[in-house]
Amino acid sequence: MKKIAFIIFVILLTFTIQSQEKELKSIVNSATVFLNSAQVTRNKNVQLEKGTQVLKFVDLSPFIDKKSIQIQAKDLEIQAVSFQKNYIKESKKSSEQLLLENKLEVINNSINLENISLETAQEEIEFLKSNRSIKGNQTITVAALRETSKFYSSQIKASKTKELKIKNKRQKLLNEKTTVTKQLNDLTGKKRYASGEISIKVKSNTIKKVNLKLTYNISNVSWFPSYDVRVSDINSPLTLVYKANLKQNSKVDWKNVKLRFSSANPSNSTKAGKIIPYFLNYGSRPPYYGGTIDEVTGYVTDGNEPLPGANVIVKGTTIGTSTDFEGKYSIKIPENSKQLEFSYLGYKPMIKRITTNTINAIMQEDNTSLDEIVVVGYGRTKKKTIKSAKAKEYRMAVSKVSAVPTQEIIDQTSFSFEIIEPYTVKSSNKDFVVTMKVFNSNANYTYYSVPKIEENAFLLASISNWEQFNLLEGEANIYFENTFIGSSLIDPRTIKNSLPISLGMDKNVSVKRIKSKKFTTKQFISTKKEETRAWDIIIKNNKTQNIKIIVLDQIPISSNEEIKVTLGELFNGKLNKNNGEVKWEFILPSKAVKNIKLKYTVKYPKNRNLIID
């Protein structure tokens, strides 16, 4: 009897606890997106009973960082907080996902029907082939044989025509299936994820209504900056369009969310070359200008299929991009960067060294699952004090490119852009681009040419007072004279007073470097051997405006007392004796041509050999 009474007591207790657990459905009110995560805030008004009860926030992202969970409420004792994943209740599917899945199901059914039709047609052909021989002892007339042959030909032709039509229709369906599957993978990824839940055990002394503020960090949300640089001509200001590329794949849609982007972090080259010091000694060779890696392309796959929407980041920077439907990517590489970081939802992150212009990544599926994790804290919640940050405004001319209204928040160690208007961002693998700011800035335009490395002229824009724009390193699309030139890098990690932006090469400024045979000599004087090298550097300005241009070349630097290097005709050039760099800087009028001569002589013992460029 006592045993029965105890069982009834346990059942009643369980029922009581379950009845005191209240499910809370809420929406995301605001989100601060960091470079590789996001902080999400939800507010919910809740009617509380007197005593202890459990409040459960449901339909949350499964990618919540348990350590980041914060609950704020007035006059309420929070006894425990736990995060768990509900594997029975999976994340909700969007209407677009349901439409694609239904379409895929119809296509699969049609493919199955065509497979059956194809098998039937092939069996008909096999039947005709196996019964084409005439057997028996009866006499066959020529007319009967002709009729039989005609019948067989018409039937086999009809069957093969039918087979061909079925194969063509089946192939169209397979192509359509591939397209829909790629769209579905791009929207959702391949894996299905559980729904996240946060349970909060609270104690209230009275019956009352309270406002709960739930804040937590989530992964699989990130942003990286990119830019559009527009220059109509070298006499006009430079327009800089500052964009945020948002990826939101938390498995929860954000509807009318107050959005903030924070800098915090819980084909043709467009770069002119640099002169390498040329140290001259016995057995030494001239410096090698083999071309640095300034752009990497490749594919990201799982070993069998491409992974569209995978993130590719230059490690240690904010420079990033995403793969397309074919899993292909292309990314600019700043100087001294060594690694690329690959990430994709449901797969283990991968880091690869930058050793070549082509880097492919085969990602491994991550089968690690989040177990239920409980964080317990007793006592009353403390109100977190946050120092106010003064908003900084810039009254600058805005170009025709429009940006959303934003407010810049300057913190002690970071800055952020707060989007004034609420935004809706659905969970998917797609990038969502927000134009945050558009600046017009005066710039100094200078052409650079290092014809020893490459016979081209590169246009460089230098912006003063660039610190006010709060830029991060990122790729930039370059538009010069209303034409897309290519992509470059904006790297504000400089200690210079002006920020250089490469606008790429300009074919309207031609450069040639020709070795002069007349002055290239070799002769013996007493115990010395003397060799002379000379070049003609010809620059022509085919533009309608005058240009400022800097031309760089070099002479070798002797690292041995026996070797003497003497500079010949320099024509207003400047020699840097430390690295051997020779520099000419001048204004070249429109349609004008300038010929620069570089000449140097090397003297060394005649019984020794030198490799001289």
Considering just the CA atoms, what is the radius of gyration of the chain in Å?
Answer: 36
Parallel, antiparallel or unpaired: strands 51-60 and 21-24? parallel
Question: For position 383, what pLDDT does the model report?
Answer: 36
* Edge-to-edge strands, sheet with 547-554: 498-505, 458-464, 443-449, 547-554, 581-588, 574-576
pLDDT tens digits for range 479-499: 998 889 888 888 887 667 788
Question: For position 388, what pLDDT does the model report?
Answer: 32
**Rounded to whole angstroms, how far apart are CA atoms 431 and 323?**
10
**Rounded to whole angstroms, how far apart are CA atoms 509 and 507?**
5
Query: Where in 481-562 does DSSP place strands (E)?
Result: 483-490, 498-505, 509-515, 521-525, 528-541, 547-554, 557-558
Q: What is the 3-state composition of the chain as percent helix, strand, coil, each rounded to the nearest 5? A: 15, 45, 40
CA angle 249, 251, 257 (to 5 degrees): 80
| Torsion angles phi and psi, residue 31, rounded to 5 | -145, 130
**Rounded to whole angstroms, how far apart are CA atoms 493 and 489?**
12
Question: For position 267, what pLDDT does the model report?
Answer: 46
CA angle 269, 308, 318 (to 5 degrees): 50
Length of the chain: 613
| Torsion angles phi and psi, residue 469, rounded to 5 | -85, -10
Q: Tokens 């087979």 appear where?
A: 163
What's the whole-number average pLDDT of the chain? 81
**Rounded to whole angstroms, how far apart are CA atoms 220 and 251?**
9
| Torsion angles phi and psi, residue 114, rounded to 5 | -65, -35
**Rounded to whole angstroms, how far apart are CA atoms 472 and 322?**
18
Of the candidates 247, 264, 219, 212, the one whose C-alpha atom is nearest the C-alpha of residue 29 is: 212
Of the candidates 602, 261, 583, 266, the one whose C-alpha atom is nearest the C-alpha of residue 450 is: 583
Q: Three-state SS for 158?
A: helix
Q: Which DSSP string corresponds to 96-154? A: HHHHHHHHHHHHHHHHHHHHHHHHHHHHHHHHHHHT-S--SSS---HHHHHHHHHHHHH
Q: Is 80 exposed, middle or buried (0-12, 13-18, 19+ CB in 10 A)?
A: middle
pTM: 0.60
What ranges do the domains of the chain cover?
2-92+193-218, 95-188, 221-505, 509-605
Question: For position 136, what pLDDT does the model report?
Answer: 58
Distances (CA, A) of 136 to 133, 140, 219, 583: 10, 10, 79, 101
CB-based contact 56:24 (threshold 8 Å): yes
Neighbours of 362 (CB within 10 A): 14
2-92+193-218 and 509-605 have identical folds = yes
Question: For position 417, what pLDDT does the model report?
Answer: 86
Question: For position 380, what pLDDT does the model report?
Answer: 35
Q: What is the CATH number of domain 509-605?
A: 2.60.40
- Cα(first)–Cα(last) distance of the chain, in Å? 106
138-152 b/e (C-beta count within 10 Å ≥ 16 → b): eeeeeeeeeeeeeee
Question: For position 373, what pLDDT does the model report?
Answer: 33
pLDDT along the chain (613 residues), means of 10: 52 47 92 92 93 93 89 89 80 74 89 88 80 63 70 80 87 87 68 83 91 93 92 91 92 92 70 70 69 84 87 88 84 86 89 91 74 34 34 35 62 75 87 89 93 92 85 90 86 78 89 83 77 91 94 90 82 84 93 92 88 82
Tokens of 152: 């067989």
Q: Who contacts 529 (Cβ-Cβ below 8 Å, separation ≥6)?
A: 522, 523, 603, 604, 605, 606, 608
Q: Tokens 């949350």 appear where?
A: 60
**Rounded to whole angstroms, how far apart are CA atoms 91 and 84?**
14
β-pair partners for 418:
260, 407
Tokens of 250: 């938390």
CB-based contact 41:28 (threshold 8 Å): yes
pLDDT tens digits for range 538-551: 999 999 999 999 99
| DSSP label of 593 | E
Q: What is the CATH number of domain 2-92+193-218?
A: 2.60.40
Torsion of CA 540, 543, 549, 554, to 10 degrees: -30
